[in-house]
Amino acid sequence: MMFAASTAQAATVLLVDDEPNVLSAIKRELRHEPYRLLMAESGEAALELLAEEDIDLVISDAIMPGMDGAQLLAEIQQRRPSCVRILLTGKADLSATIRAINEGHIYRYIAKPWDDHELLLTLRHALSHLQSERERRRLEALTQAQNEELLALNADLERRVAARTEELQQTADMLDAAYGELKQSYVITTRVFSTLINQRLPRSLQTNAQVGRLVRAFADDQGLDESLRHDLEMAAALYNLGRLSWDDQMLTTPAQRLYAKQQSEYRRYPEAGEALLMTLEPLQGAARLIRHHREYWNGSGYPDRLRDETIPYGARLLGLAVDFIELQRGMILPRQVSRPGALELLQKLAGRVYDPELCRAFIALCQEQAPDLGLQDARVMTLDTRQVEPGMVLVQDLHSTEGMLLINHGKALTASLIERLIRFEETEGASYTLIVRPAESEEEV
């Protein structure tokens, strides 16, 4: 019982009985316990002490003149519900005991004459229970405070991103128009959030757009249902969210060159990404794909060591797309792997790391087309801003040199938008290349 006793350190116990010899007997029995003992010879005196002292536990006799034990404990329950209440009762006090249970919500009752060992054990258990409840409430309050702190940190991140891009404010009218359209689509809005994440990552490690193009092309090729497509697009945009807490050195080090401690942190990023998204109802499906996109077909992956078809289909596809792009960027091996070499490596790992059937279909798509480059359509053209014409449709997102999304793919260019983009280039001292296709009306003609 050493643990129970230790949790009761500095507990204040109030003994209430109209017979002084009973109070003395209980006090004598508790003399070796680490409690601060208070005594009262009536219910009224006990309530006065309750108003002045922070009392953890009350032991009250059932039968007392004036206010009896049941009335006293019911009053204490109203005034101080967290205070543990115990009733001392004789065999003839059944009605008082029942009232104490019903009205005072007592923790226990102890029959007179009491057993000394039982009395000590009951107090220790009661105070241990009280300590556990207090700790639970403390942890709930701490969790709430941490959630609020996280919200504050997210808000601060947005402010800092805005501060770093002050020089782009002269294009606010263009960005406002883009954001107005983005609000109409939750998927597109998610991709905007992805560009904010990219502010933390080096340009060469901003892989979200390529991963997104791959999963969209595969979804089109395989005719995946709309719900899964929706989750896949958002997961592709946000899969590396859990890496934002890494330091710069770890962000730029290939996975196979990380130290053991860094490897452990690396393996936690899918869980961290899921945790940040689970509170957002529309993103819970994407969060589940992010959590499991590092699971392996043979069960040796992480975080849950799922295997075979217990791994969500979307997570299997996301893992393939992520590895295909990150191998080429030099983010996994200590060297950049060529596009054909990456496809060959995926094939070798089929059946161990990847779903073999899914891997075959994925490789076939990448060999027939180049969806990760956004150039698989023969009508697609690569033009600078002074070559594009009104009505052309943007095939690939256009970002500023700082990584901010300027125009989202699928946007039909207007003369006004092209003119503003040319002025923006002159202001920023940059030159942008746009990947576009002809307007639908022109194709029909």
CA distance 249 to 252: 5
Q: Which residue has the higher pLDDT, 91 or 363?
A: 363
Query: Judging by beta carbons within 10 Å of its beta carbon (0-12, 13-18, 19+), is residue 97 exposed, middle or buried?
Result: buried
Minimum mean pLDDT among 90-99, 248-257, 429-438: which range?
Answer: 90-99
Q: Of the candidates 227, 165, 178, 168, which has an alpha carbon nearest to the alpha carbon of residue 397?
A: 178
CA distance 8 to 123: 9
Confidence of residue 442 (pLDDT cuts 50, 70, 90): very low
Please give the radius of gyration of the chain, using alpha carbons only, rounded to the nearest integer. Answer: 34
Percentage of the chain modeled with pLDDT above 90 = 38
Minimum mean pLDDT among 161-175, 401-415, 417-431: which range?
Answer: 161-175
Instruction: Check whether 303 has a pLDDT greater than 90.
Output: yes
Mean pLDDT comparison of 295-299, 374-378, 403-407, highest-scoring range: 295-299
pTM score, two decimals?
Answer: 0.47
Instruction: Check whether 94 has a pLDDT greater than 70.
Output: no
Sheet with 433-437, side-by-side order of all strands = 381-384, 433-437, 393-394
CA distance 270 to 303: 8
pLDDT at res. 278: 84
pLDDT digits (tens, 9 = 90+) for 64-78: 898 988 889 889 989
Q: Which residue has the higher pLDDT, 2 or 388?
A: 388
Determine the CATH number of domain 2-133. Answer: 3.40.50.2300
> What number is the average pLDDT over the span 31-37?
89
Domain limits, CATH 1.10.3210.10, in the chain: 202-372
Question: What's the CATH architecture for 202-372?
Answer: Orthogonal Bundle (1.10)
Give strand pairing partners of 350: 354
- Side-chain-side CA neighbours of 180 within 13 Å: the count stands at 6
Domain limits, CATH 3.40.50.2300, in the chain: 2-133
Secondary structure (H, E, C), the chain: CHHHHHHCCCEEEEEECCCHHHHHHHHHHCCCCCEEEEEECCHHHHHHHHHHCCCCEEEEECCCCCCCHHHHHHHHHHHCCCCEEEEEECCCCHHHHHHHHHHHCCCEEEECCCCHHHHHHHHHHHHHHHHHHHHHHHHHHHHHHHHHHHHHHHHHHHHHHHHHCHHHHHHHHHHHHHHHHHCCCHHHHHHHHHHHHHCCCCHHHCCHHHHHHHHHHHHHHHCCCHHHHHHHHHHHHHCCHHHCCCCHHHHCCCHHHCCHHHHHHHCCHHHHHHHHHCCCHHHHHHHHHHHHCCCCCCCCCCCCCCCHHHCCHHHHHHHHHHHHHHHHHCCCCCCCCCHHHHHHHHHHHECCCECHHHHHHHHHHHHHCCCCCCCCCCCCEEEECCCCCCCCEECCCEECCCCCEEECCCCECCHHHHHHHHHHHHHHCCCCEEEEECCHHHHHC
Structure tokens at 298: 């043979």
